Structure 1
Amino acid sequence: MVRVTVANRHSFIGGKCDDFKEQTDPLVAQPVGDNKHAEPRLAMTAALSASGPHPSLGDEARVFDRLVGTWDCDYTFYAEDGSATHASGELRFGWIIDGRALQDIWIRYPRKGADERSIGTSVRFFDNKLKMWRVVFVGPEHGVLITVQGGVEGNRIVLRGVDDHGSSLRWSFNDIQPNSFIWRGEASRDVGKTWRLEEEHHMRRRGGAQAFIGASATIAAGKSRSAIAFEQLTSLVGEWKGVKDGAKMKLVYTLTADGSALMEEFRPEKGPVMITMFTVNEDRLIATHYCSAGNQPQMTTEAITEPNTKRLAFSLVRVTGLTTPEDWHNTGLVVLREDKDHLTQEWTYQFKGETGKTVFHFVRER
């Protein structure tokens, strides 16, 4: 999508991009395909995910299997003076590597006035020699790499380790219920004699327990996860309005092709209309964008594992209509349904070897 960019300090939609200047939105590293415009990372992530635990884990699989899914998060961070900072986000748990390990992704939504989210990830596996779960957490944004290990202690899951400053760490999953739990992060500077609470995050399963059970029942009845995710996406049907850099714009969603495709029309106040078509393909969703630049990027999600997710991420598979690989084209799209009346889109792009991202916020029109 040729979205609102900056050209000679004026808002610009569509047309030629020869006058393109670096836009004010933060540039991001966005992998793009080879000359055939394939997205190699897509195949890797598809091979990485697993539908469930490996049989060799036995009863140990139950420790974290109950957390698989998507959780809405109320994050709280405590400073040394006791003051608290709150943030919202989501946590995603899933099996990987043929079910021999789990990966979780911790996402904190952008702060007010910012476009970038904060994100980190953990990989956890059961070490048969140590008879413990071992976990590696990576937070590239802040240069964080932490390892902890542990397992079930009473009705909690407790993991222990040491941070970069030599402080002892104690991470725990508490009050675990089918649709909620509390995660706590504590630190000790006196080798465990006293502990200070640094983080406490309240998690609630997205959609609640009934929605989770309902989705599982629907899948068992024969409807695929991707079909359920598409049904959730069709809740966007209607008109939405937004403003970017002073330019007004409208989105119109229409269900078409006997209910098999969701059509999005992007209608800027000044500029050409562009179309994006959302469809189902086996275990994924596809977004095909018909851009005013004259090309048509086709983007796809990873295999849908959590059908009730509010966030769908599409990555470039191929693009048609390019004259040269240097032409302006989109490389990805994130659709975030914040609630029934608020929608956020993140479009990534490539032009002459440079990559970038533009974020749009829309409100449903009544």
Structure 2
Amino acid sequence: MKRPASALALAVSLAASPMSYAAPPDASAAFTQLKALEGRWVGHVQKADGPPAEVTYRNISGGTAVMEVLFPGTPHEMTSIYHLDGDQLVMTHYCAMGNQPRMKLVAVDGNRLRFDFTGGSNMDPQQSTHIHGGEIRLQGPDTIEAEWDVFAKGKPAGTNRFFLMRPKT
């Protein structure tokens, strides 16, 4: 069964050039960057003028986790939870397709946060369609670009891009 592009768009590793680092990423600093995203973001998927997208970020559990809700209130709503686990920043994506890929922060380059797949539940990574990693680029206090690579049958099956802005109130 073919899913709409918006479902795969958030069934949310990056196709961009890999980053190389001598030291492990500063998970605490990256988590602080994610916490600053709190609020509503609107924009488009796939290209800057593509189908509409909405994402909300909320600091939860006394500021120990960040909840990202993609396509809130729609049949394709999905949630990702980011939190520190010791000296690592980890994320679980609760997908509308019924699986829960897990990722960890593997690289930081300024405002570019790169996450890679570490496992998941309700899925077989060699068969199931799932997000397998991605990158969030914090372009400024009110602009985000993100790319999430989708895998199917153990191989790259597409990249979903998000172009988001914090609405002016």
Alpha-carbon distance in structure 2 between the residues aligned to 1:117 and 1:294: 27
The residue number in structure 1 matching 2:5 is 12
Aligned pair in 2 of structure 1 residues 268, 118: CA closer, same or farther (>3 Å)? same
Distance in 2 (CA, whole Å) between partners of 1:282 and 1:247 is 38
Q: Secondary structure at the match of 1:227?
A: helix
The equivalent residue for 1:363 is 165
The CA distance in 1 between the partners of 2:144 and 2:67, in whole Å, is: 16
Distance (Å, rounded) in 2 between the aligned partners of 1:314 and 1:279: 13
Distance 1:244 1:227, change over 3 A: closer
- Which structure 2 segments of 5+ residues have no match? none
Cα 1:232–1:122, aligned 2, differ >3 Å: closer, same or farther? Answer: closer
Deviation at 1:251, TM superposition (A): 0.6
Task: Report the residue type matching 1:330 in the other structure.
Answer: I
Aligned-residue CA RMSD (Å): 3.2
Structure 1 position 263, deviation (Å):
0.3
Helix, strand or coil at the partner of 2:62: coil
2:32 pairs with 1:231: yes
Report deviation, 1:118.
5.6
Write the distance in 2 (CA, Å) between the matches of 1:326 and 1:247. 28
TM-score, normalized by length of structure 2? 0.78
Distance (Å, rounded) in 1 between the aligned partners of 2:123 and 2:74: 24
Q: Which has the higher contact order (CA 8 A, sep 6+)?
A: 2
Is residue 125–residue 153 contact of structure 2 (8 Å, CA) maintained in 1? no
- Counterparts of residues 319-358 of structure 1 (less than 5 Å): 319-322=120-123, 325-355=126-156, 356-358=158-160
CA distance in 2, matches of 1:363, 1:266: 14
What is the deviation of 1:323? 5.8
Shift of the 233–296 alpha-carbon distance from structure 1 to 2, 3 Å rule, reads same
Q: 1:299 to 1:323 in 2, by over 3 A?
A: closer
TM-score (norm 1): 0.38
**CA separation in 1, counterparts of 2:122 and 2:20?**
36
8 Å Cα contact 2:82-2:89 kept in structure 1: yes
Moved over 3 A (4+): 10-14, 115-123, 268-271
Inter-partner Cα distance in structure 1 for 2:143 and 2:90: 22
Partner of 1:316: 117
Q: 1:279 to 1:272 in 2, by over 3 A?
A: same
How many correspondences in the alignment?
158
